[in-house]
Structure 1
Amino acid sequence: MEESVRWLTPEEQHAWRGFVRLHERLGGRLARLLQSESQLSAADFAVLVHLTDVPEGRQRHQDLARALEWEKSRMSHHIARMAGRGLVVREECPEDGRGAFVVITEGGRAAIEAAAPLHVAAVRSLFLDHVTPAELRTLAQVSERVITQLDAEPS
């Protein structure tokens, strides 16, 4: 039996499209600033941020792909490019011959340490300086609720 589509109301459509435009424009602007100022792509930055947030700066390849919501092939190709630039290395997993770890290098740490202040300044000037503390709390609550729901569903 065919389910009926729950079309968006004008208010829902306005909010959704505004959110999508915000995400696209903010992401694009941040990516261009990062690339021009630090020679790191947004994808490089995301990988390095995740690796600096985990113990020993190493994470299983598949777990990193899952955390970034990337497909296996995208992760493999991107990690290969980053390894070629000395930002990360790939280490085989002794317990699992098919698995591997992605490990941040000293060069990767230096790159993220140089890029982070630029990124923070851009986040402030492009976004945080334009929202109130109450709006920021609401955004955090909404984001956490939606992420919790997404994490509970199979991907």
Structure 2
Amino acid sequence: MNLQTKFHKDQTINVAFRVKNAPPLGSHVFQANVTIFELIQDIIKTNLLTKFHEDWTINVVSRELTRQMLTLHNARRTTAITKAHHEHINILTKFHKDWMKTINILTKFHKDWMKTVTSTVYTRRSGMMSRRADRSEILTLNSATSLALSTDTMM
């Protein structure tokens, strides 16, 4: 991390050095425009690199803490919890809280989905039962009628 910070400091010094040694605006207009363009480009690079390093730090912290949590704890080696550890834990805690909100949403969705599926299955079975009852009544009527007809013909 110190190497990256040093790189950013050196880049800031280089930008300041170019501005200080830029030719006066009246002598060569084209040369001054090129210097200003280089300066703006260096500032843009610095902002992009800073943003990248902030994101990269979060990724590294997440990966490192995950590795520490998943490996077995060595009883002989103890590490002191520093301020940096607390900051890393806070980042992961925020991530964990956001993740828990997602789980709550998914759980609610799952509960609603279960109600819908249960309702569909129950409705389907109820409908089948009522249709079966109708069929059995018809069959009973048909068999009684045919039985009555058959006894009439026998007599």
TM range (shorter): under 0.3
TM-score (norm 1): 0.24
TM-score (norm 2): 0.24
Higher normalized helix content (fraction of residues): 2
Which structure has the larger Rg over C-alpha atoms? 2
More relative contact order, 1 or 2 (CA 8 Å, 6+ apart): 1
